[in-house]
Structure 1
Amino acid sequence: MIGFLGKKISMSYLYDSFGNYNPVTILSIYDCYVFDLISINNFYFAIISYYSNNFYCFNKSKFFLKQFFISYFDYSNFNLFEKISLNIFYINQKINVSGISIGKGFSGVIKRYNFNSGYASHGNSKAHNKPGSIGMCQDPGRVYPGKKMAGHLGSKKTFIKNLKILYIDFNYNIFYIKGSVPGFINSNIIIYPSK
């Protein structure tokens, strides 16, 4: 299913016809083009969309490449170097958004994995926010790999499903998505229609 490339602008709010308050994330969708069509097998084809401020300027610093898998029947709808229309999206449609989450640096287990803190009294000596026991008995006598411990939090690929489009501005290629979207301001995101 074809998707689009864009960036996160900011967050705001919208009121619906019933006066309900809806927090929204504003996304700017890039001008996406069909950069290449690749035959994967007899049933599917891969389409690579690409963005640049100037389509004929092949400066690699401006490229944002992504490969999408489409069905055999949709292959005839795309032509090489053709701009992809945003008409496949509509208001109240469910979409999936992928992006890089905000990096939060080195974090403890309470913030990173939602551990409970220790007791505040009754003999607790400087162990209020520590993870507790991590070791084993004499056999195997080691800490297993993948143990939940303090470390780097965020700055990884995140995928959020079933977000709703509340408003679309086709003149400026701007989407208003209900709820939060992974990433910091001006970070690149990828939008897919939900199945």
Structure 2
Amino acid sequence: MNKKPTTTRTKIMDAAQSIILDHGFGGTTVDAIIEQAGVSKGAFFHYFSSKAELGKMLVQRYADEDAEHLEQTLVKAEGLSDDPLQQMLIFVKLFEQEIKSLEEPFPGCLFASYLQQSELFDHNILDIIRESMLLWRTRVLDKLQKIEQKYPPRRDVDLESLADMLMVIFEGSFVLSQSLNENKIIAQQLLNYHRYLQLLFSKD
């Protein structure tokens, strides 16, 4: 079956996202976007009234894709085990394996790029990012609470902070990986989180 052809709108958004990840939103121009996308300026303004509107649509698309990826990975983990601890360990392991399988360095996080220049955006865009972060906290915290009921932790732990730790690992290791040009850092930090959960909740 042939893949669905890429639309002009998608080409523009993909080009813009790539440039923003490399140069930041402030360093991204409409001219650079249309050159990379291979479209005319008229085509750009047919789909987007301004760079600001494109920026909002980009972050909403990114948030929607991130939420879908989160839910799909949770569902896959839940389908592989009925035990809440094993589900969480599988969940983390799936992300670790996904990162390891990348042939190219991870491109970065659009949320981080936006937040580094938060003064350029209105509260609506920042709210999209905030809601995405809260979704991760809520979904991971729900798993950790179920784990705690079955496997009391060996040390006192703030489960909400432990849930946030996963997102901290993702975002922090992305920055470190890019700074040191070492793609393996992200997978290594996910492995550390996986092992920490085992040590904290295992009965043995």
TM > 0.5 = no
For CA contacts below 8 A with separation 6 or more, give which structure has more relative contact order.
1
In terms of Rg, which structure is larger?
Answer: 1
Choose between structure 1 and 2: higher helix proportion: 2
Q: So what's the TM-score if we normalise by structure 1?
A: 0.23
Choose between structure 1 and 2: higher strand proportion: 1
